[in-house]
Each structure stands twice: as structure tokens, then as C-alpha cells.
Amino acid sequence: MAYRAEGRIQTNPGEPGADTIGQGRLRAFVGYACKVFGLRKGLETVQDRRQDPTISTYVVAAALFFCGLLRIRSLNALEPKLREKPFIRLVGRSGKEGGLGSADTLSRGLRQMKVATVRSLSECIVAKAERNKVFREGWIGAMHAFAIDGWEPISSYHRHCDQCLVRHVRVERGGEVVEVEQYYHRYVVSMLIDERFDMALDIEPLLPADMRPGGAGKDGEHEGEQTAAIRLLRRVKRTFGWLEVVVADGLYPNGPFLTVVKQLRMSAVVIAKKDGDEPLKEALALWGKGPAQQVIVDEKAQEQIELWDCRDLRTLSTYDGPIRVVRARITSTEQPQRPHRTWCMVVTGAATGRLTAQSVLGMARGRWHIENTGFHQWTTLWRFAHVFVHDANGMLALYWLFFAAFNLLTLFLYRQVQCYGRDRGKNVTRTISRLVEEMRDELARLDHSPWDTS
């Protein structure tokens, strides 16, 4: 028997089997997602352009949502489950209506799905979490930060759609090197980064040459990453106005990007890699070969951090405003013979005054959350690199459904089953994987719909 205390679904510790791992995790997840975030209503708001479909849009969206949640590897692998009663119950149907269609049915639904309605589902989950004060404390310097980065999950030498990007690459075939066309999809992704909660915020595709606003670029080039990133940045700020700092890699320490950040009244912490580019060039000249301005020994991380800090630089001609540059040299105290690592960061906006040099470094290193918790996990475990459907609209709609599943699973794990994560250490990816395995095991025993949370 389960009881509810302080809004958390728990197992009565006095009952037999109360310590059994995986006790009702799937039911508890659906109940939490439904009651706190209105998942059922959110899935019902998803729309597509099919006329009088036999399988409703809700069923298509719900089936694909749980396909992502349970990490089912493809639509073909999902198809047998569409006729199995446990999965039919999981989607919220009794089974008397028959199965949930086929892989082709889901594929057609994705192709015709209205991306704006699926995006709204995922955005509402993050917005609701913010209203519930999940991110109340901020992160470093009590500021809410998100990372932005380019991501290429899909590429092929054969199959493609009308919105694929195309490039020419040299490969070895038949003992000789030839130049062939490679088709790929590339996106810019934004992710909230936090000590506990890494949440997918938004995704924007790079457009092929013939779809670029204003026409194709020079020599028919496809859209660049920064152009899509600026478009994404404006939408993220419009959707989540409480975000304050954008963290980006070495592509972005330039005037056009930093100017947009300033226009949006945000701050930026951007990695700087090229010593010959301003404002890093000026900061390096001012520091010269002098000693570090601050030396910190982090016993927990077993490293020594040397810091240089230079404020109010104005040598970047394409940006109107002061820029701060921070350099950090990190040496392992556990293995001092290892080569040191050097980080250089460009900082603009309110963060230039609110963050210490060490905090700037911490936020810049936090950008790796989008690489590890995000891209690596999505590609290796969430099957984002698999082409579920050969259609740009369908892929984007599917990613939004998977983002909703990823975010809800993260919130459920660290808000409802807190001890579960602590018991399994700090490896976020491994912890979530174990929870998903338990949910899949429970699915086979699902004898009634988990949507009835009365």
C-alpha cells in the first residue's frame, strides 16, 4: 500500500516488500506527471493535419512519449507493443477498441504533427516546474544559466529528405578515395544547467540553403550554426524570461552574438580559444607572464586553480559594452605530474559584476552538462541518433516528445524518489538508466491503467 506525504509518492516502510526496488515506479511516474504537470491534458492538446484519423493524435503522441521514456529503439521495435494490453493500458486505452495502429500509423502521425503543439507540451513542463520553485535557488551565484550548442545526431550517405543538409566528404571505397555526398540534420539545442536538474529547453534546426530566410548564402551555403543559435536564443528568452545567463563554446565570443545577448538583457559566459582574437588578445597582453592573481585549492575536486581576471575591456570593435575576461589554469593535486588545463572565458552583462572568477569558471565548466547529460545520453541511450522517420517535421516533433519524457523523468527522479538517486551515487546517466529498466519490467505486469490517480 502506498501513502502520500509532503506531495511525494512513497512506499509504507512498515509493509512487507516495502524496500523492493522498482515498487510501482511506472505507476508512480504517471501519477506524478498527471497530477503535477497535467501530462494527460498536455498530450491531448497535440494536434496534427490528418483528416479523420482512425488512430487519434493523442494515441500517437502518447505512444511515442512512452517509446522515448522506456527507450524503445525504433518504431519497428515498438510495433508489437501496440497490440499488447499492458502498453495499451499505459497509453490510457482499455484495449476494447483494438490495438494502437502500426509503425506506419505513428510515422504518418509524426509527419503531419504540428510542431508548435508538441513544443508547447515540453515548454509547459519546464514552466510549471519553475512556478513550483524547482529552480528557485538558481545555481552558481544564484543565477539561472543554460547552455547552447550545436548537435548533429543524424547523418547518412543514402537516405535523405527534402530538408537534409548536404556536404561533400572524402571516403575510401573499393581501395580508392572518392568524394561523395553526405546528408545530415544539425540542430542548435539549449539546456538548463544546474547542479541537480539538467533540462532540455529548446531545439532549432539549421536550414538548408534553399530554405534560408532571405535566400541562399554565398555559394549556396547552408545556414550557419550561429544564425540558428540567435533565433533559438530569442525564443528561449521569450519563453523562459527568468533565465539570466547563456553559456556557450568557442564559436560564440563575437560581437553579433554578444550584442543579441545584451539586447535580451541577459549575461553570457563564453569559452574563448583563439589567443589572437579580441578581447582575449588584450587580456593576455595585460597579464603578461605575471603570476596568478588568485590561487585556490579545491580539496574536494583535488585540484589547484590559478585565476587571472581582467574587467572592463572594450577592444572588441563589433560589441558596444564592457567585457570581462577570466583565465584559469587547473592542476591536479592528486596527480601533479599531469599536464595542467587552461580555460579562458569571456563574460558580459550583469554576470560580470555578480560572479567571482571561480564562479565564472564553474559556470563555463558546467557547459559540459549539455555534452554529457544531454547529447551523449540522448544518442547512446535515448535513441535520438536513430532515424525513426525520414521527415524533418516528424523528427523535430519526435524530439520534442522525447524532451518531454526526459524532463519529466528527471523531475520525478530528483523530486519524488530522491533517496533512489543518492543510493546509486552521483552518476546521473546510470541512475536514470536503472530507473528506466525497472519501469520496463513493471510494464509487463501492468494490469490496469496507471492514469486513474483518484
Q: Do residues 55 and 90 both lie within one domain?
A: yes
pLDDT value at residue 84: 92
Predicted model pTM: 0.89
Number of compact structural domains in the chain: 2
Cβ-contact 304, 296 below 8 angstroms: yes
pLDDT at 39 over 70: yes
pLDDT value at residue 192: 95
Average pLDDT, the chain: 87
Residue 294: other Cβ atoms inside 10 A: 14
pLDDT at 59 over 50: yes
- The answer to whether position 66 is within a domain reads yes
Q: Do residues 423 and 320 both lie within one domain?
A: no
pLDDT value at residue 420: 52
- The answer to whether position 314 is within a domain reads yes
| Structural domain boundaries, residue 300 | 265-366
Distance (Å, whole) CA 200 – CA 179: 36
- The answer to whether position 146 is within a domain reads no
Q: Which residue has the higher pLDDT, 29 or 215?
A: 29
Q: Do residues 66 and 10 both lie within one domain?
A: yes
pLDDT value at residue 453: 54
Q: Do residues 358 and 305 both lie within one domain?
A: yes
Cβ-contact 29, 408 below 8 angstroms: yes
- The answer to whether position 310 is within a domain reads yes
pLDDT at 421 over 70: no
Distance (Å, whole) CA 31 – CA 420: 18
- The band of 129, judged by pLDDT with boundaries at 50, 70 and 90, is very high
- Give the three-class secondary structure for 235: helix
CA dihedral 395, 397, 400, 401 (to 10 degrees): -100
Mean pLDDT lowest among 16-25, 67-76, 148-157, 425-434: 16-25
- The answer to whether position 354 is within a domain reads yes
- The band of 300, judged by pLDDT with boundaries at 50, 70 and 90, is confident
- The band of 335, judged by pLDDT with boundaries at 50, 70 and 90, is confident
Q: Which residue has the higher pLDDT, 97 or 358?
A: 358
Mean pLDDT lowest among 58-62, 250-254, 259-263, 443-447: 443-447
Q: Do residues 312 and 359 both lie within one domain?
A: yes
Q: Do residues 301 and 394 both lie within one domain?
A: no
pLDDT value at residue 447: 85
- The band of 185, judged by pLDDT with boundaries at 50, 70 and 90, is very high
Distance (Å, whole) CA 357 – CA 352: 9
pLDDT value at residue 49: 95
Q: Do residues 340 and 424 both lie within one domain?
A: no
pLDDT at 158 over 90: no
- The band of 319, judged by pLDDT with boundaries at 50, 70 and 90, is very high
- The answer to whether position 381 is within a domain reads no
> Hey, which of 120-124, 410-414, 434-438 has the most confident mean pLDDT?
120-124
Q: What does the pLDDT look like over 42-51, one tens digit per residue?
A: 999 999 999 9
pLDDT value at residue 161: 86
